Amino acid sequence: MKTVCIEEQELTKQIVQEIQKGEVDKAVKKLRQQAANSSLLPPSWLLKTADALEHNNWSILSEEFINMDFIGKNGYFLIIAPYRISRQCQGKVTLSAIYGKMHDNQEPSIEQLEHLIREKFGNLNQPIPVNLSFTEIASCGNVCGESGEAFIVPNGWPFPNSVCGPALNNAKEQGRRFSGSSRECIQKIFEYETANLLLGPLEDEINGERYRHVDTQVHEAGHASGLGFSFKDKNLLFQNYSYAGVEEWRADSLGFEFAACTLPAQEAGKLVAVNFCIRFGLDAHRLGGLEKDTDVYASLVSLEYLFQNDAIYVTKNGQLALRNLSYPGLLQAVELHRAQALSLTRRELNLKSPTGIFYLYKVDIHPSTQSIFQALVMERCQGLWAKLQ
């Protein structure tokens, strides 16, 4: 049995390699070969993937993706399809493949988060996207390497209603990014003790992966709150990078709120630290910059509210420093984030027309905040993320 599994894994890797080389016909043939004797991957999914590749019909994968029937008994999965990413306000679609093994990590429960959303906002307008963490085995296209996505959002796939499917969090790629340029950026941007506080949860060899997982799951719950991400996306309410950036900030901030409601302050503060490492150590340095990129703008908005909350200051050495150097203090630092996001979400639920979001989703950024962000965050890390687009 062990030999059979090894052979099947090698065949799956070969399929990913064929996609990478553009040899689609060979990949289709091997997919059908694998489906005949597969013990790790669902045969139905493999056959439908082969048909989708052959006929360029991705709708046949929709139902099994949404229901997560593409995952095998032991957590192994293979997805092959065009995947769309956005860089510098430009969409880029590439036939991509990701082969990996899911982690058994189910906290916090979706039911718990759904209860919180109904408690705070009265109703839940869309299901909370499930966040699945996995270890990558092989990949290519827009879900591969530093220039691809480490957090694979469901609406990037072309399957109808894919937004109802799971988000996939690549633990291997996330770990590589955090241990490399992201870590160095945090150490350049923040003074020594603040940087150590922020990096601590990610450098925890036992719990680091769990913290990353929980952070992304509460973030997805944030997206589901209010009118819901899928509704906004379908109604073209993210017409420019700034509206989408405020939505990202809103999801972050509601994630902090949900963490504060479900975890001890020490643990909830660690999730804030993980988020800041992502936003300031990674997202702030995307090449689109402040005038094009959603994630850069979300990072700027987060810094604005840190200053408004008097939670952060600039040292004499030109670095950012937190006033309260503890994880409960870090949770207090985002109190204004949480309050503003709660208010914004309640206001959007009371809109008479969804297009009112164009008015609501505007944040006044103080000129000094923008100057500090450009000089002490973006310019300080130039060159470290040369491949990030």
- Give the tens place of pLDDT for each residue, 136-146: 999 999 888 66
Phi, psi of 363 (to 5 degrees): -120, 130
254 neighbors 342 (Cβ within 8 angstroms): yes
Nearest to 381 by CA among 277, 272, 241, 245: 277
The DSSP bridge partners found for residue 100 are 77, 136
Q: With respect to residue 163, please indicate whether it lies within any of the assigned structural domains.
A: no
* Crossing angle for the helix pair 294-308 and 241-262, to the nearest 10 degrees: 50
Question: Which tokens in the block code for residue 256?
Answer: 């902090």
Q: With respect to residue 54, please indicate whether it lies within any of the assigned structural domains.
A: no
Is pLDDT above 80 for 182?
yes
CB atoms near residue 271 (< 10 Å)? 27
**pLDDT recorded at residue 387:** 45
Residue 226 to residue 346: CA distance in whole angstroms: 7
Residue 158 inside a domain? The answer is: no
> Average pLDDT of the chain?
90
CA angle 328, 332, 337 (to 5 degrees): 135
41: which 2 tokens? Answer: 């991957």
Tell me, yes or no, whether 20 lies in a domain.
Answer: no
Q: What digits encode the pLDDT tens for the residues 21-30?
A: 999 999 999 9
| Residue 352 structural domain | 101-127+173-381
Contacts of 52 (CB under 8 A, 6+ apart): 58, 60, 61, 80, 81
Helices (H) and strands (E) in the chain, counts: 17, 7
pLDDT digits (tens, 9 = 90+) for 99-122: 999 987 666 788 999 999 999 999
Distance CA(67)–CA(48), nearest Å, equals 15
Q: Which of 3-12, 42-51, 356-365 has the lowest mean pLDDT?
A: 3-12
End-to-end CA distance of the chain: 43
The total number of structural domains in the chain stands at 1
- The first and second tokens of residue 228, run together, are 């819901």
Whole-number Å distance between alpha carbons of 100 and 176: 16
CA-based angle 70:72:78, to the nearest 5? 50
pTM for this entry: 0.78
Question: What is residue 1's predicted lDDT score, i.e. its pLDDT?
Answer: 44
The sheet carrying 167-170 orders its strands as 76-87, 90-102, 131-140, 167-170, 151-152
Beta bridge partners of 78: 99
Range 77-87 average pLDDT: 89
User: 137 in a domain, yes or no?
Assistant: no
Domain assignment present for residue 146? The answer is: no
pLDDT of residue 90: 66
Instruction: Report, as an integer, the average pLDDT of 314-335.
Output: 97
User: Does a structural domain hold residue 244?
Assistant: yes
Strands in 291-352 per DSSP E: 312-314, 320-322
Tell whether 242 is covered by a domain. yes
Burial class (CB in 10 A: 0-12, 13-18, 19+), 301: buried
| Rounded Cα–Cα distance for residues 225 and 247 (Å) | 11
